[in-house]
Chains A and B, each alone.
Chain A
Amino acid sequence: MTSSKGPLVLVVDDEPPIRQMERRILEKAGYRTMEASGGEEAIAMLSAINPDLLIADLDMPGLAGEEMVRRIHVVRPHLKVLYVTAHIDRLLDAQSIVGDGEAFLDKPFTAAGLIEAVTLLLTGSISATPQTIANGRTR
């Protein structure tokens, strides 16, 4: 079920099938989604949209995930971020960049794992639904 009122998630990944899969999983769970194929595109989109959460692939060509988020946080310091990566070893390297409102998800992940991570970041609870999140927005 796609909710027109659910929280908006911006999915940024250079792999089209990964973007489509993440969007379909999240939309089934009631989230609204948009997508960008890279960091520059995501930054440009943020002048027109106000997502509740950003899903950022760490391993993108061009503007990498960490640098994209660093630039975005200059103008949107409270935007929550879920980093996804197929390089589990990079989790250790990148731990220093993880702050409040940020988390990591290792690829390959399950649909349930993705939904749990997004919901936890947005609410602090895995039992919340996109509808209750939308109704009780704190920002």
Chain B
Amino acid sequence: MSVTESTKDPEVVHRLKNYICIISGFCELLISDCAGDDPRRADLMEIHKAAQHAIAMMPEVAERIRREV
């Protein structure tokens, strides 16, 4: 395996990023459709916050998976 290949994100990371992108993106769309006093807005904000945390964790997750692969 070359140095370049060893630093590439594994396919599972690629798929994870796609899923998080879908969760976060549709969540943003739903939030933008919610009125300020809509009770569902707080729930959606929690989902969005969790997605943002997951995004922030991706480099560490990728690095751990890369080491195992």
Residue numbers of A with Cβ under 8 A of B are 15, 17-18, 21-22, 24-25, 28, 59, 86-90, 93, 107-111
Binary interface encoding of chain B residues 18-35 relative to chain A, with 1 for a CB under 8 A from any of its CBs, else 0: 101110111011001000
Chain A residues contacting B8 (CB-CB under 8 Å) are: 87, 89-90
Residue numbers of B with Cβ under 8 A of A are 4, 7-9, 13-15, 17-18, 20-22, 24-26, 28-29, 32, 51, 55, 58
Interface residues of chain A: helix, strand, loop or mixed (majority): helix
With the chains together, A5 CA to B6 CA distance in Å?
47
Question: By the criterion CB–CB under 8 Å, are A86 and B18 in contact?
Answer: yes
With the chains together, A108 CA to B7 CA distance in Å?
19
Closest 5 CB pairs of A and B: A108-B21, A86-B17, A21-B25, A111-B28, A107-B21
Min CB gap A61→B, angstroms:
12
Question: By the criterion CB–CB under 8 Å, are A18 and B9 in contact?
Answer: no
Chain B residues contacting A87 (CB-CB under 8 Å) are: 8-9, 14
Given contact pairs A108-B18, A108-B55, A110-B24, a sample of 10 additional A-B residue pairs in the complex whose CB atoms are under 8 Å apart: A17-B22, A18-B25, A25-B25, A25-B28, A87-B14, A89-B9, A108-B17, A108-B24, A109-B25, A111-B32
